[in-house]
Amino acid sequence: MPVVTVSVKRLNELLNKQYKLNVLVDALEQLGCDVEDTAELGLYQCPACQTPNDRLEHEEPPKRCDFCGFESEEPFEKYATDKVIRIDLLADRPDLFDTGGLSRALKGYLKLEKGLSEFTVKEGNIEVNVDPVLSQKETFRPYIACAVITMPPLDQTSLREIMRLQENLHWGIGRDRKLSSIGVYDLGTLTPPIKYTTVDPIEFKFCPLGMPGVQMTPRKILEEHPKGVAYAHLMDNYKRYPILMDANDLVLAMPPIINSNETKCKINSSRLFVDVTGITQDAVINSLNTLVSALIELGGEVETVKMNYPEGPKATPDLSPKKINIKLDAAQNWLGLDFSKQEFMGYIRKMRLNIEPKKDVYEVSYPAFRSDIRHEVDLFEDLAIGYGFKNIQTKLVPSLTIGEARKEEELSQIVREAMTGLGFTEIMSLHLQSVERHFTKYQMEPGKEHVIIKNPKTIEQKVARCHLMTGVMETFYKNRRKTVPQRIFEVGNIMLINPKMETGTNEYRHLAFAIIGPETGYAEGRMVLDSVMRELNYKGDYKPVSHPAFCQGRCAELTGDAGLWARVGEIHPQVLNNFGLTYPVSYCELRLVKVI
Distance CA 584, CA 499 (A): 38
**Range 322-389 classified under CATH 3.30.56.10:** yes
Distance CA 388, CA 350 (A): 11
Amino acid at 181: S
What is the rounded radius of gyration, in angstroms, for the C-alpha atoms of the chain? 30
- The beta strand positions in 421-579, using DSSP E, are 425-426, 432-433, 463-464, 486-497, 505-516, 541-544, 550-559, 565-571
Distance CA 351, CA 109 (A): 7
- Residues 6 or more apart whose CB falls under 8 angstroms from that of 478 comprise none
Amino acid at 73: E
Distance CA 64, CA 53 (A): 9
CB 169 within 8 Å of CB 91: no
Strand partners, 145: 276
C-alpha 428: how far from its chain's center?
23
Strand partners, 149: 272, 302
CB 260 within 8 Å of CB 216: no
DSSP line for 60-79: PPPSB-TTT--B-SSPPEEE
Residue closest to 253 by CA, chosen among 182, 352, 152: 182
For residue 236, the model assigns a pLDDT of 87
CB 143 within 8 Å of CB 256: no
C-alpha 531: how far from its chain's center?
45
Spans of the chain, pLDDT less than 50 = none
Distance CA 243, CA 214 (A): 18
Domain boundary assignment for the chain? 3-109, 121-316, 322-389, 407-594
Residue closest to 45 by CA, chosen among 54, 58, 33: 54
Distance CA 69, CA 468 (A): 42
- Residues 6 or more apart whose CB falls under 8 angstroms from that of 195 comprise 128, 129, 131, 244, 245, 246, 247
CATH number for 121-316: choose from 3.50.50.60, 3.30.428.10, 3.50.40.10, 3.40.50.300.
Answer: 3.50.40.10
For residue 79, the model assigns a pLDDT of 85
* Fold for the domain defined by 3-109: Phenylalanyl-tRNA Synthetase; Chain B, domain 1 (3.30.56)
The answer to whether the peptide bond before residue 47 is cis (omega within 30 degrees of 0) is: no
CATH number for 407-594: choose from 3.40.366.30, 2.60.40.10, 3.30.930.10, 3.40.50.1000.
Answer: 3.30.930.10
Whether 3-109 shares its CATH topology with 121-316 is answered: no
For residue 1, the model assigns a pLDDT of 61
CB 453 within 8 Å of CB 432: yes
CB 158 within 8 Å of CB 298: yes
Amino acid at 245: M
